[in-house]
Structures are given as structure tokens and as C-alpha cells.
């Protein structure tokens, strides 16, 4: 596959994954905001959402870390700000994995503790989506222009090898679709309209 074709495929895959991530986040937040006496159904959905977040976030973080490290190798020494950016991104993404592990642990604890563990789980979810690693001087999508400018043959060979090693998160997302209750789609749709200013 040519570099241009590979980049096109990767960008589309990334857009689709980010759509699933956004939807799983909405499902989780919407479900946490709804009172329900059906604890078993709730916990199954919470676990499915967090399992998907775990699988997808690990894959995306691993990909971004790999790209940042590969990019650092090909950046000219005089591009000090860009080199510092790759170092910061590497550190922040590594931190993100630690935050993810905390969410996974909180989910397991919530499942064991029953309904009384819901508040602690809600706090863990809120922390994960607003954690320190999400505050960066430059976002991950600052990389493509640098990759386009400085990516050499070795960079693209390594990037393709890393991408081929990545698994699919589609099956994990399907479990969420199986475990959500019908009304949740309406709640999520309303949340999305509100976030866009649609009332």
C-alpha cells in the first residue's frame, strides 16, 4: 500500500473509532444519569462500555505513542518545539493508560460492591473523561502536518507495521449495542442535540 493510501485508510479508521468512542461515552454518561432499580442490567452495560473504552483507548494510545516516537526520530534538530511536543505527547499518553487502568479497576470494584458503589464509579468515570492527560499544550492531531512534512520511507514502513499489529474494537462496541436499553438511544440523541445547541 502506498503511503498516501495508507494515510487515507488510517484517517478514516480513526474517524470511525472516534465516533464509536464518543457514542460509548454518551451511553455511559446517559445510563449513569438515569435512576433504575435494575442493577444487573445497569452493571452489564457499564462493564460493556468500560471494556470497549479499555480496548479502544489502549489501541489508539499505542498508535499515537508509536507515531510520536517515530516522528521524533525524523524531526530535524532545529525543530525544538516540535520535538518537545512529541515528548509531551508520549508522556501524556502514557499517563492516559494509567488513568484508564484506574477506570477499569473502579468498574470491577463497582460490580462487586453493588448499587452502593455507584457514586464512586460515577466519580471514576467523570475523572477519566476530565483527567490531567486530556489537558495538553497541543492535541494529538497536531501530528499529521509534521508527518506529512518529515515522514520518510523508514517512518512509513514502521507506521504501517504498527498499524497492522492493531486489533479491531468493533466486536467490543457491538456488546454495548446488545446491552443498552431502547430508551437510551433517545436520551443520547437528546444529549447530542443539546451539545450542538439544538435544544
- Which residue ranges make up each domain of the chain? 3-195
pTM, entire model: 0.76
Give dist(CA 54, CA 52) in Å, integer: 5
What string of H, E and C letters represents the secondary structure of the chain? CCHHHHHHHHHHHHHHHHHHHHHHHHHHHHHHCCCCCCHHHHHHHHHHHHHHHHHHHHHHHHHHHHHHHHHHHHCCCCCHHHHHHHHHHHHHHHHHHHHHHHHHHHHHHHHHHCHHHHHHHHHHHHHHHCCHHHCCCCCHHHHHHHHHHHCCHHHHHHHHHHHHCCCCCHHHHHHHHHHCCCHHHHHHHHHHHHHCCCC
C-alpha cell at 122: 460515577
C-alpha cell at 22: 464518543
Q: Is the pLDDT of residue 162 over 60?
A: no
Q: What Rg, from alpha-carbon coordinates, does the chain have? A: 19
CATH class as words, domain 3-195: mainly alpha
Percent of the chain at pLDDT exceeding 90: 16
Least confident range of 12-26, 28-42, 73-87? 28-42
Q: Is the pLDDT of residue 10 over 80?
A: no
Q: Which of 11-20, 27-36, 50-59, 125-134 has the highest mean pLDDT?
A: 50-59
The model's confidence at residue 11, banded by pLDDT at 50, 70 and 90, is low
Q: Mean pLDDT for the chain? A: 79
What pLDDT is recorded for position 155?
64
CB 53 within 8 A of CB 102: no
Q: Which residue has the higher pLDDT, 17 or 36?
A: 17
The model's confidence at residue 198, banded by pLDDT at 50, 70 and 90, is low
Average pLDDT over residues 191-195: 77
Amino acid at each position: 500500500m502506498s503511503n498516501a493510501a495508507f494515510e487515507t485508510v488510517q484517517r478514516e479508521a480513526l474517524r470511525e473509532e472516534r465516533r464509536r468512542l464518543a457514542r460509548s461515552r454518551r451511553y455511559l454518561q446517559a445510563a449513569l444519569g438515569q435512576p433504575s432499580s435494575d442493577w444487573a442490567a445497569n452493571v452489564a452495560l457499564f462493564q460493556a462500555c468500560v471494556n470497549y473504552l479499555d480496548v479502544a483507548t489502549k489501541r489508539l494510545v499505542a498508535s499515537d505513542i508509536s507515531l510520536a516516537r517515530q516522528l521524533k526520530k525524523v524531526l530535524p534538530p532545529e525543530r525544538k518545539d516540535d520535538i518537545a511536543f512529541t515528548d509531551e505527547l508520549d508522556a501524556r499518553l502514557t499517563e492516559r493508560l494509567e488513568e484508564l487502568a484506574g477506570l477499569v479497576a473502579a468498574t470491577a470494584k463497582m460490580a462487586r460492591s453493588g448499587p452502593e458503589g455507584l457514586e464512586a464509579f460515577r466519580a471514576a468515570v467523570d475523572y477519566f473523561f476530565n483527567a490531567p492527560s486530556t489537558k495538553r499544550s497541543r492535541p494529538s492531531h497536531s501530528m499529521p502536518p509534521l508527518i506529512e512534512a518529515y515522514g520518510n520511507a523508514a517512518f512509513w514502513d514502521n507506521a504501517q507495521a504498527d498499524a497492522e499489529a492493531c486489533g479491531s474494537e468493533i466486536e467490543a462496541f457491538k456488546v454495548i449495542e446488545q446491552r443498552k436499553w431502547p430508551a437510551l438511544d433517545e436520551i443520547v440523541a437528546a444529549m447530542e442535540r443539546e451539545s450542538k445547541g439544538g435544544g
